[in-house]
Amino acid sequence: MKLAMLYAVLCTVFMLTLTACAADNAVTATPAPISNTSTESNSTTPIALAKPRLILQITVDALRGDLAKRYAHMLGDGGFRFLMQHGVDFTNAHYQHANTETIVGHVSLATGSVPAAHGMVGNVWFDREKGRLVYNIEDARYHLLTAGADVDKKTEIDPTQKAAKVDGRSPAAILSSTFSDELAEHYNGKAKIFAVSVKDRGAVSLAGHAGKAFWFSKSSGEFVTSTYYYQQYPDWVNQWNARKPALAYAGKSWELMQSPAKYLFGDADDREYETDFPGYGRTFPHPYGAADDKYLTTRLTLSPAGDELTLDFAKTLLDNEKLGQDEVPDYLAVSFSSTDYVGHLFGASSLESEDNIGRLDRTLADLLAFVDKKVGLKNTLIVLSADHGQPEIPGYLHDLGIENSHYFDTKALDKTPAITALKKKFGIGEELIEAYFQPYVYLNHNLIRDKGLDQAEVEKAVATELEKFDGVAAAVSSIALRTASLPDTLLLRSILRNFHPKRSGDIYVVFEPNVFINDFDGLTVASTHGSPWRYDTYVPVMFAGAGLKSGEVSRPVTPYDIAPTLSAYLGVKPPSAAIGNPLPEVLGY
Catalytic residues: 102
Rounded CA separation 70/356 (Å): 13
Nearest to 251 by CA among 288, 304, 281, 224: 288
Q: What angle do CA 540, 333, 541 make, to 5 degrees?
A: 15
| CB-based burial, 489-513: b 16+ in 10 Å, e otherwise | eeebbbbbbbbbeebbbbbbbbbbb
SS3 content of the chain, % helix, strand, coil (to 5): 40, 15, 45
Distance, in Å, from the CA atom of 362 to the CA atom of 97, rounded to the nearest integer, reads 32
What's the distance, CA 362 to chain centroid? 22
Q: CB under 8 Å to 4, separation ≥6 — which residues? A: none
Strands (E), 269-373: 286-287, 330-336
Q: Measured between alpha carbons, how far is 338 from 150 in angstroms, rounded to an integer?
A: 19
Before 391, cis peptide (omega within 30)? no
Which three-class secondary structure state does DSSP give residue 316? helix
**Local structure of 19: helix, strand or coil:** helix
For 92, 180, 227, 407, the CA distances from 60, given in Å and listed in that order, are: 17, 18, 27, 26
d(C-alpha 342, C-alpha 487), whole Å: 38
